Chain A
Amino acid sequence: MIRFLVMIVALGVIGFGAFWLVTKPQTIDPEAISGIEPDLARGEAVFIAAGCASCHAAEGAQDEARLELIGGRPFPSDFGTFYAPNISPDPATGIGGWTAEDLANAMRHGTSPQGQHYYPAFPYATYTRASLEDIVALHAYLMTLPAVKWVNRPHDLRVPYNIRLSLGGWKFLFLKDDWILSDAPTPELERGRYLVEALGHCGECHTPRNALGGMDRSRWLAGAPNPTGRGTIPNITPAKLGWSEGDLMTYFTSGFTPDFDTVGGHMADVVENLKQMPESDLQAIIAYLKAVPPVE
């Protein structure tokens, strides 16, 4: 009997050890970013393209206040409610103490400076493809924004989703840094792919998720239930989105659909960002949207 118990415990230890080895929070190789010079203008462009303010600015913030990244916005989900954290450069309540390496670990691996897993409400399943040059530039830019003291509201999650350790399993299953559109034969398509799949995180809302919250890559951008409430986020693959390139450009720069309805909901925040992006980047996104596989 005792032998049996010992065996069970030993198996448990081995099992947990294996789980830990496979799923422990990952970090980048610090050598990889040590030589990269931060470029502020590039950082601002990354900030806009990655849509940081859309979630981390306070709800309803306008204009200048959109640069006060105090978080607090709620994201209800099947797992409970997530609250966006303060990423202003306040050292005590924000990320003022973070190095570029910390930001790279957060964006590429969903790992906090304390070595904990982040929840994938923070779209690191997308940002994992971001280049280290862009992350170093973004870090430098974030540090120039107003520091605001604002204590984070803890996530309000149901059991067992409140156990961060389990996120290692989620990452093992769903955190992949290969491209979804494997073929990008022109520089424009390559740029569009990077903007959509690495920074813009369109797929986080427009792609359906499985029961564990992983994106269904076979239905990439094919529409999904609204993650934060009722209604549906539309299919934007060529099978359903019948808009011309000109229609898309008008929508990205003005928020108007071809029949003069306006953008609404969370997409209105996205259009705020798109309006500030260079036209060549918008063209690249449009080229990408025309190239993704049509899914009915």
Chain B
Amino acid sequence: MIKKIAFGAAGLAVAASTVFAASHIDPAIAGAIKARQGLMQMQQLNAGILFGMAQDKVAYDAAAASTAASNLMILTTIDQSALWPQGSDADSLEGTRALPAIWTDYPDIVSKAEALNEAAVAMNAAAGTDLESLKAAIGPIGEACTACHKAYRQPQ
């Protein structure tokens, strides 16, 4: 009987610590997730200004386009290695849609990130020229965004 109770208590303790672990995210990991989501939002915001003009939803403005393109280019050069710690994937934690494959397909991630950087460099050269040049440079940006979101982001 005593054995049984002890066993049950141990079980409860294990269960309690599991619940605790699930609700308690390592602050360093939580910070990394916040930082990379912020980076994504900054990219989305700046790319969005360019897409809005490319889709004729917003009037073309050379200065605003140049600023957005320059920001986007700089954002794509940031070294992100500190933003993706092991254990910060969607299988391990709530609050992120980053698929675990990100940590196993590293060379592919690098080549996709390079594609985005190249597209952003080309956009930076084109955005301030005129709307036609901006429209010609927008395709590869969208493709680069989608390529990563298709392979490495879980649905909502």
Q: Given that A230-B91, A230-B154, A260-B47 are known contacts, is A250 also in contact with B146, CB under 8 Å in the complex? A: no
Q: Given that A230-B90, A231-B90, A231-B97 are known contacts, is A264 also in contact with B153, CB under 8 Å in the complex? A: yes
| B24-63 interface (Cβ within 8 A of A) | 44, 47-48, 51-52, 55
| A206-232 interface (Cβ within 8 A of B) | 226, 229-232
B107 partner residues in chain A, CB cutoff 8 A? none
Query: Taking the nearest CB of chain B, how far is it from the CB of A147, in angstroms?
Result: 28
The answer to whether B154 touches A250 (Cβ under 8 A) is no
B44 partner residues in chain A, CB cutoff 8 A? 259-261
A255 within 8 A of B: yes
A60 partner residues in chain B, CB cutoff 8 A? 151
A280 within 8 A of B: no
Nearest 4 interchain pairs by C-beta: A264-B149, A260-B48, A268-B150, A231-B154
Q: Please give me the residue from chain B that is nearest to A234 by CB atom.
A: B156
Residue from the list B51, B97, B150, B156 in contact with A260, Cβ < 8 A: B51
The answer to whether A264 touches B146 (Cβ under 8 A) is yes
Instruction: Kindly state the interface size class of chain A when it binds its partner.
Output: 20 to 34
A202 within 8 A of B: no
B102 partner residues in chain A, CB cutoff 8 A? none
Chain A interfacial positions (CB closer than 8 Å to B): 60, 226, 229-234, 250, 254-256, 259-269, 271
Query: Taking the nearest CB of chain B, how far is it from the CB of A197, in angstroms?
Result: 22
Q: Please give me the residue from chain B that is nearest to A265 by CB atom.
A: B155
Task: Contacts A250-B55, A255-B146 known; list 16 others, CB within 8 Å.
Answer: A230-B91, A231-B154, A233-B155, A256-B55, A259-B44, A262-B146, A263-B146, A263-B149, A264-B149, A264-B150, A264-B153, A265-B149, A265-B150, A265-B154, A268-B150, A271-B146
The answer to whether B149 touches A262 (Cβ under 8 A) is yes
Instruction: Kindly state the interface size class of chain B when it binds its partner.
Output: 20 to 34
The answer to whether B155 touches A226 (Cβ under 8 A) is yes
Q: Please give me the residue from chain B that is nearest to A259 by CB atom.
A: B48
- Once the chains are docked, how many angstroms separate the CA of A264 from the CA of B146? 6
Against A, the Cβ 8 Å flags (1 = close, 0 = not) of B70-101 are: 00000000000000000000110000010100
The answer to whether A264 touches B155 (Cβ under 8 A) is yes
Query: Taking the nearest CB of chain B, how far is it from the CB of A228, in angstroms?
Result: 9
- Once the chains are docked, how many angstroms separate the CA of A229 from the CA of B89? 13
Query: Taking the nearest CB of chain A, how far is it from the CB of B94, in angstroms?
Result: 10
The answer to whether B142 touches A255 (Cβ under 8 A) is yes
B52 partner residues in chain A, CB cutoff 8 A? 260
Q: Which of A232, A250, A255, A264 has the most CB of B within 10 A?
A: A264
- Once the chains are docked, how many angstroms separate the CA of A264 from the CA of B90? 15
Q: Please give me the residue from chain A that is nearest to B151 by CB atom.
A: A60
- Once the chains are docked, how many angstroms separate the CA of A230 from the CA of B146? 19
Q: Please give me the residue from chain B that is nearest to A271 by CB atom.
A: B146
B145 within 8 A of A: yes
B91 partner residues in chain A, CB cutoff 8 A? 230
- Once the chains are docked, how many angstroms separate the CA of A232 from the CA of B90? 13
The answer to whether A229 touches B154 (Cβ under 8 A) is yes
B149 partner residues in chain A, CB cutoff 8 A? 262-265, 268
- Once the chains are docked, how many angstroms separate the CA of A144 from the CA of B145? 33
A266 partner residues in chain B, CB cutoff 8 A? 155
- Once the chains are docked, how many angstroms separate the CA of A260 from the CA of B149? 13
A268 partner residues in chain B, CB cutoff 8 A? 146, 149-150
Query: Taking the nearest CB of chain B, how far is it from the CB of A265, in angstroms?
Result: 5
B145 partner residues in chain A, CB cutoff 8 A? 262
Query: Taking the nearest CB of chain A, how far is it from the CB of B131, in angstroms?
Result: 17
Query: Taking the nearest CB of chain B, how far is it from the CB of A204, in angstroms?
Result: 14
- Once the chains are docked, how many angstroms separate the CA of A60 from the CA of B101? 14
- Once the chains are docked, how many angstroms separate the CA of A262 from the CA of B150? 9
- Once the chains are docked, how many angstroms separate the CA of A268 from the CA of B149? 8
Q: Please give me the residue from chain A that is nearest to B50 by CB atom.
A: A260
